[in-house]
Amino acid sequence: MSKLSVLKNPAGMTDLKDLGVHPAAIDSEPKMRLHELVTTQNGKVEAGIWECSEGTYRMERTCDEMCYLLEGHWIITGDDGESVELKAGDVVFLPADFKGDSKVIEKVKKVYMTA
Q: pLDDT at position 99, please? A: 98
Q: Would you kindly state where each structural domain of the chain is located, as residue ranges?
A: 18-114
Q: pLDDT at position 1, please? A: 46
Map residue 30 onto helix, strand or coil.
Answer: coil
Q: What is the mean pLDDT of each run of 10 residues along the chain (115 residues)?
A: 80 92 95 92 89 97 96 98 97 97 98 95
Terminus-to-terminus CA distance in the chain, angstroms? 23
Q: pLDDT at position 2, please? A: 66
State the Cα–Cα distance between residues 30 and 49, nearest whole angstrom. 16
Q: pLDDT at position 103, please? A: 98
| Furthest-apart CA atoms within the chain: distance in Å | 47
CATH code, residues 18-114 = 2.60.120.10
Map residue 10 onto helix, strand or coil.
Answer: helix
